[in-house]
Amino acid sequence: MPEHPPLIQVQDVWFTYPGGVQALRGVNLQVSAGERLALLGRNGSGKTTLAKHLNGLLVPTRGRVLVAGVETVGQDVGRLAALVGYVFQNPDHQLFSRSVREELAFGPRNLGLPPGEVARRVEAALRQFGLEEAADTPPAILGFAERRLVAVASVVAMRPAALVLDEPFAGLSWPSVVRLGMLLVQLAAAGHAIILITHQMRAVAAFAERCVVLDDGRVLADRPTRETLVDQPLLKRAALAPPAMVRLGQQLRPYGFSGRTLRVDELVEEYQRLRGARRERR
């Protein structure tokens, strides 16, 4: 059965900024439809530089980036935006319309879609993101978590094949992180590729299946989340911290915990099993 080419291919990409800073040194990466991956690394490791190559905001100094099989070099950034949507770190840098509805309509209109299709996509995005009641509200007066959702929804309304989100969870409390995270899971299930740049390890544990760890412009590791988040030496080298439940599980290894639990529910399950086992022994 013929395989689809990966949605995004980064082939031996090197990138040096005009000032001379070499931000990427031979990065290789492939992302397929439906994947949920986290891009991790300390500030200055090259995460944002790499992310900006995915929608053609930057082009490689050496190597190539292909989106849907076509190289990004020479392509119209507007056309690439239809394939790879980019959600910026600060929603207020992105939002400018008089109403949420207008904000969501902007992207699809810019793609030249007919008004009927634009309206359909806006309504779908309002429903999917739970923004129906806020449809006629100016985004500027919404709370921060809502503005964040509007920013994501406005990019999703363009139905890009891939979505790159730069620190989408920053400034959100955990309940709001979960709300946004579950939407991203739905989008991935519908076939979108989701690429998250984030420092929030609890969110990585909950919503990313794969972690690409960058350090000093290179890919240090590209593995399933479950393996990455328990690898203490790797995390230390990349100046990252494991999520609290990994640390707790590892401290409790002498009591039979695996040290491989990423989340609260997993750790509590292990506790329950060990507690039950101890009762039975007596």
Partner 1 sequence: MLKGVDLRIEAGEALALMGAPGAGKSTFCRALMGLVPHLTGGVFGGRVEVLGHDTRRVRPPELAGLVAIVFDDPETQLFNLTVEDEVAFGPESLGLPSAEIRSRVDEALALVGLDVDPRRAPSELSGGQQQRLALATAIAMHPRLLVLDAPTAQLDPLGQTEFYQALARLRRQRDLTVVLAEPDPELVAEHADRVAILAEGRIVRDGTPEEVFADPRALAALGVAGPEASEVAWRVSQLEGEALQFATVERAARELARLLERPAASGQPLVSGERPAGSDDA
Binding-residue total with partner 1 (CB under 8 A): 39
Residue 145 in the binding site for partner 1 (CB under 8 A):
yes
CB of 6 to partner 1, least distance (A): 28
Could you tell me which residues come within 8 angstroms of residue 277 by beta carbon, excluding any fewer than 6 positions away? 256
Residue 130 in the binding site for partner 1 (CB under 8 A):
no
| Residue in 173, 156, 157 with CA at minimum distance from that of residue 165 | 156
Element (H, E) at 36: strand 36-40
Angle at 241 between CA 235 and CA 239, to 5 degrees: 55
CB of 42 or CB of 52, closer to partner 1: 42
Residues 252-281 that bind partner 1 (CB under 8 A): 252, 254-256, 264, 267-268, 271-272, 274-275, 278-280
CB of 62 or CB of 275, closer to partner 1: 275
CB of 44 to partner 1, least distance (A): 7
Which listed residue (44, 63, 138, 259) binds partner 1 by CB under 8 A? Answer: 44
The CA distance from 50 to 161, in Å, is 18
Which listed residue (66, 220, 241, 259) binds partner 1 by CB under 8 A? Answer: 241
Q: HEC string of 258-269?
A: CCCCCCHHHHHH
> 202 with 264: CB under 8 angstroms?
no
Residue 206 corresponds to which amino acid? A
CB of 32 to partner 1, least distance (A): 28
The CA distance from 105 to 233, in Å, is 46
Could you tell me which residues come within 8 angstroms of residue 19 by beta carbon, excluding any fewer than 6 positions away? none
Which listed residue (20, 74, 175, 233) binds partner 1 by CB under 8 A? Answer: 175
Residue 43 in the binding site for partner 1 (CB under 8 A):
yes
CB of 280 to partner 1, least distance (A): 7
Name the one range near partner 1 by CB under 8 A: 98-106, 119-127, 157-165, 238-246.
238-246
The CA distance from 184 to 194, in Å, is 7
Residues 155-174 that bind partner 1 (CB under 8 A): 170-171, 173-174
Which listed residue (144, 216, 223, 260) binds partner 1 by CB under 8 A? Answer: 144
Extract the tokens encoding 42.
């300390």
Residue 61 in the binding site for partner 1 (CB under 8 A):
no
Extract the tokens encoding 282.
């007596």
Residues 1-40 that bind partner 1 (CB under 8 A): none
CB of 203 to partner 1, least distance (A): 12
Q: How many CB atoms lie within 10 A of CB 62?
A: 12
CB of 9 or CB of 49, closer to partner 1: 49
> 169 with 175: CB under 8 angstroms?
no
Could you tell me which residues come within 8 angstroms of residue 123 by beta carbon, excluding any fewer than 6 positions away? none
Which listed residue (143, 182, 190, 224) binds partner 1 by CB under 8 A? Answer: 143
The CA distance from 20 to 11, in Å, is 21
Name the one range near partner 1 by CB under 8 A: 12-20, 29-37, 52-60, 199-207.
199-207
**Distance in Å from the first CA to the final CA of the chain:** 56
**Binding stretches for partner 1 (CB under 8 A):** 42-44, 143-145, 170-171, 173-176, 199, 201-202, 239-241, 243-245, 247-248, 251-252, 254-256, 264, 267-268, 271-272, 274-275, 278-280, 282
